[in-house]
Structure formats: structure tokens, C-alpha cells
Amino acid sequence: MINAQTITADFLKTNENIDELFEFIIPYNIFKSKELIEQPFQNVMDIIKLLQAGDLLKAVCLSSGLIEYEILKTSCNDFMQHVKWLVEQTKLINNLMQSLSVDDFDEDSIMLQSAGVESLNKYEEIMIYYNIDKNPTTWEKLGKVPFSIMFTKLSIDKDTAKIQKNYHNLLKNKNKS
């Protein structure tokens, strides 16, 4: 049975359904992590994957910079408060990343879909690095860029591409008339 004195190590060994407990936990950045938007881009992507895989301990370690041993000896309440804080942070990040999606699904988007553009999804964030610089030796450095800066760059790229596409369409229509 989990109680106020339960340490994280014991909590993680139990088979208790944390979903029921989780809704009553108040999110709190107990381990004083930087907000995800301030952390390196690759760390953020890795934290999201770890949380999705249910590897809460590694996600907390990566976000906080603490080692597993330090986290395991903390109270499970502190641990769960931090996990809930991380989950809220990832919701914000996911919303930001979703805002980078194509706004209007037009004929060009349909053609890209038909051509198989979705087959590139398996490369996840590596495609972002690849689109910035085709040289794989720079990708590790790109992963260390703060999420906020990378997001700003991606937002600018999205807006620039949309403007270029609109301009191209205007030129095409002008040449038809």
C-alpha cells in the first residue's frame, strides 16, 4: 500500500494503478527542472518519448539532470508531482508542435501524401535536423539548441514556405491571364 512515507523506489516496484492516483496529484516542479521550452530540443523529444513509453524514472532524470539513485530515494508523492508537471509541459510542447502542421490541406498536400511523404515520419526529429542541414555531423549540435529557439526557427520556416507558395500561385495566376 502506498502512503506518505513510500519512497519512489518502492512505489515503482508496486503494481498499483497510478492512473487513479495521478488525477489527485498536484503538478509541481519539485526537482527544479528547466521548463521544457527552455531545455535542449533533443532532450524534449526524448522526454516525450520516455513518457509515452511509460519510463517515468528516465524522463524525470533527463528533465531534472538528477541521477536515478537520487530520484529513487525521494518520496513517491514528490516524484508523481514532478511527473504530472512533466506531462503538463509535454502537452504544451505537443500543442506548439501541432501548430507547425499544415494549415490548409490543398492539392499540393494531397500530391505529397500520394507521393509517400508520410514514410519520412519514422525519422521523427531527425527530419527536422536534416531539413536544417543535410550534414549528419551537425545534428547532435542542432539537438542541443533550446526548444524555444528551434520552435521559432520552425515557425519562421512554416510561414516563409506558405508565403512562397502563395507568391508562386499568384505568379502562376498572373501568367495565365
- Residues 6+ away with beta carbon under 8 Å from 164: none
Residues 63 and 115 in one domain: no
Are 18 and 12 a contacting pair, CB within 8 Å? no
Residues 69 and 132 in one domain: no
pLDDT for position 146: 97
Number of residues that this document lists for the chain:
177
Say if 3 falls within a structural domain: no
Q: How many domains does the chain have?
A: 2
Question: Between these two residues, 14 and 51, which has the higher pLDDT value?
Answer: 51
Domain ends where: 98, 126, 143?
Answer: 98
Residues 145 and 78 in one domain: no
Question: With 90 as the cut, is the pLDDT of residue 72 above it?
Answer: yes
Instruction: Render pLDDT for 115-171 as a digit per residue (tens, 0 to 9).
Output: 877 777 788 889 899 999 999 999 999 999 999 999 999 999 999 988 998 898 898
Say if 163 falls within a structural domain: yes
Residues 89 and 120 in one domain: no
Domain ends where: 78, 98, 118?
Answer: 98
Are 50 and 62 a contacting pair, CB within 8 Å? yes
Domain limits for position 159: 107-176
Residues 114 and 93 in one domain: no
Residues 116 and 90 in one domain: no
